[in-house]
Each structure stands twice: as structure tokens, then as C-alpha cells.
Amino acid sequence: MATLDLTFDGVLAAAEIVARELPATPLQAHPLLDRALGRPVLVKHENVLPTGAFKVRGGVHLAARLSDAERAHGLVTCSTGNHAQSLAYGARLAGVRATIVMPASAPGAKRDAVRALGADVVLAGASLGEAGEHARALAAETGASFVCPTDERIVLGHATAYLELFGQAPDLGTIFVPVGSGTGAAGACLVRDALAPGCRVVGVQSAAAPAGWRSWRAGSIETAPATTRAAGLATTTGYPRTQAILRDRLDDFVLVDDDAIDAAARLLATCAHTLAEGAGAAALAGAAAAGGGPAVTGPVAVICTGANASTDEIARLAGSVAAA
């Protein structure tokens, strides 16, 4: 496959493909949530997509742009869950074989969901980094193509969420975007620059997995341990392709702790009729931490990127809701 450029035109082309398969997701106001936060905050509900996460956009776009070799020999990747389901979804659309290497810690529900989409699951390694090494070795051994979680086709697919968002609300002043590998935030920057240059894009990462944040601040690729409970944010390194975009274009990058992410997930459950996994609630945690401070200007939106809460997360949320 010829490399696709990460440009706004690339996002427009991806959107045509993605829209053939996926409905636009709603951007909703939730008055109870606004009251709890002390300011209006719109929620972009990516949690309603098939697979329950924004990442499916990447898999659908990738599926339409596979090379002959990828079609013939299949795909292999590594993931803690939502990229896995996305790739499995895309592979099924394209009628291509997919193998997903997941770290042993990946939630059982996510493994089951991947298998239900028809992909093979291999459990290997204690971290996403170790699973990645195994996935590359497996690709070399079997002839399948390794799909990097920050593959250009995937970044462009994810960016389509922000094309929708700025179409739905052209006058946004600040958007909060969760960061793991940085594909969503990079996509947000690509689209914001073209459609809403006055809007601030703020990345949000768990303080218990700050590799992306450290990389952005240092201007170089940095690593950090990932002990966060939010599986979708549990990356241990900055990713060069997305950091190259975020470096100059992301307006701000904040860290929130895992308890703040839980509190945000509880708010989404009680004030916005929404089950969110930790990574899906992180943007709201960032907006809540920023409050009415000077970093936040104009109408605010947060991206609820995923609903695939593990049974542990659901139990923890239910406990804290009951205690509230």
C-alpha cells in the first residue's frame, strides 16, 4: 500500500469510506452534567458505534485500503482491546484473516468481543509493548502484515470523528481528547487546523501512564510505566507518528489521576445515561479538572471515546455510585 499522507484531504477521503459503513455519532448536551460541572459541556458519543469505541473508524478505513499482500496473508496487530476490536471488525468487512496479540492483562470481555468478530486472539506479554514485540515476530514468521496502531489509515479513520464534530458544532472553543497512542488527538489537530483554527485541542492522559505527555513536553520520544486502570490509555511509550503531529499542534496536555477518571465515568453514568470505560471518561475528567479556568475558552466538547468497561470497572463504578 502506498503511504497515505496525514492531511485534511486525507481525512475527507477517509470520511467518505467510513460514512458508507458507520452512522455519524451524536453530539449531545446533558443538563444534569452541565450542572455537575458548573459549565456547559457537549459530549460526542463515540461509545454508540459498533464495537463501542471510536477506534472502529480506523478499522473500517483500513479495510477499504488493504494492499494485495495484506489481503492474501492477513493482518496481525497488538492491542489492549479497542484497536483489537476495530481491526477484527475491519478484517471481517474485508474478508481477511486477523490475529490480535493482547497482553495477558487484557480484560476478558474485550478478548471475547474480538473472538466474536471472527479474529484469532493470542495472549502474550505483560504489557502492550511486549505484546507488540510478539505480534511483530508473529508477522515475520507467518507472512501476515503487522498493522501498527498508529498506521496512517487508522489515524485518518479516527480523524473522521472530528470532521463530524466540527460539522455539528463549528464554534467550539475547546475540545478535550483522551490520549494513549495519540491517534485520536492527532486526528483532532488535523481537522481543527482546517475547520476551526480558533478551537483549542487539549490532550488528556492518565497520570499513571504518562509516556505520551512526557514525550510531548520533551519534544522527543519518551517512555514511562503504565499502571493506569484505564486500559485504553495504558501505553508505555510516545508514538513517533502521532507525536510528530501533536508536538506543534496540540494546545495543551493535562494529566488526570485514575480516581478522577472514575469520577468522570460516574458522572457520565449518572448525568449522561452513558456507560464509559476509563479511557472513554478521561476527556471529561480533563474538562472537570480544568473547570472554569483560563485554559478553557468558548463552548466545550469532550469525546466519550469508548463504552467497553470491564466487569471490574462496572463493579467499581456501581460501588461508588451507591456510596455517593
Ligand X SMILES: Cc1ncc(COP(=O)(O)O)c(C=O)c1O
Chain residues binding ligand X by CB under 6 A are: 53, 55, 82-83, 178-185, 232-233, 277, 279-280, 305-306
Instruction: For the CB of residue 275, give the shortest distance to ligand X in the complex, in Å.
Output: 12
What burial class does residue 156 get, using C-beta atoms within 10 Å of its C-beta: 0-12 exposed, 13-18 middle, 19+ buried?
buried
Residue among 102, 204, 99, 87 at smallest CA distance from 151: 87
Instruction: For the CB of residue 48, give the shortest distance to ligand X in the complex, in Å.
Output: 13
Instruction: For the CB of residue 301, give the shortest distance to ligand X in the complex, in Å.
Output: 15
Looking only at the bridges linking them, the beta strands covering 27-29 and 41-45 are: antiparallel
Instruction: For the CB of residue 294, give the shortest distance to ligand X in the complex, in Å.
Output: 26
Name the residue nearer to ligand X (CB basis): 112 or 171.
Answer: 112
Please give the Cα distance from 46 to 23 (Å, whole number): 10
Name the residue nearer to ligand X (CB basis): 43 or 179.
Answer: 179
Strand order from edge to edge, sheet including 41-45: 27-29, 41-45, 300-304, 174-178, 200-206, 252-256
Name the residue nearer to ligand X (CB basis): 107 or 306.
Answer: 306
Instruction: For the CB of residue 267, give the shortest distance to ligand X in the complex, in Å.
Output: 16
Name the residue nearer to ligand X (CB basis): 77 or 305.
Answer: 305
Name the residue nearer to ligand X (CB basis): 96 or 234.
Answer: 234
How far separated are the first and last CA of the chain, in Å rounded?
52
Show the DSSP H helices in the chain as ranges.
Answer: 8-21, 31-37, 56-63, 68-73, 82-94, 108-116, 128-142, 152-168, 183-195, 211-218, 240-249, 258-271, 278-290, 311-323
Instruction: For the CB of residue 143, give the shortest distance to ligand X in the complex, in Å.
Output: 27
Report the residue closest to ligand X, judged by CB: 306
Q: Are 321 and 269 in contact (CB under 8 A)?
A: yes
Name the residue nearer to ligand X (CB basis): 229 or 322.
Answer: 229
Give me Rg for the CA atoms of the chain: 18
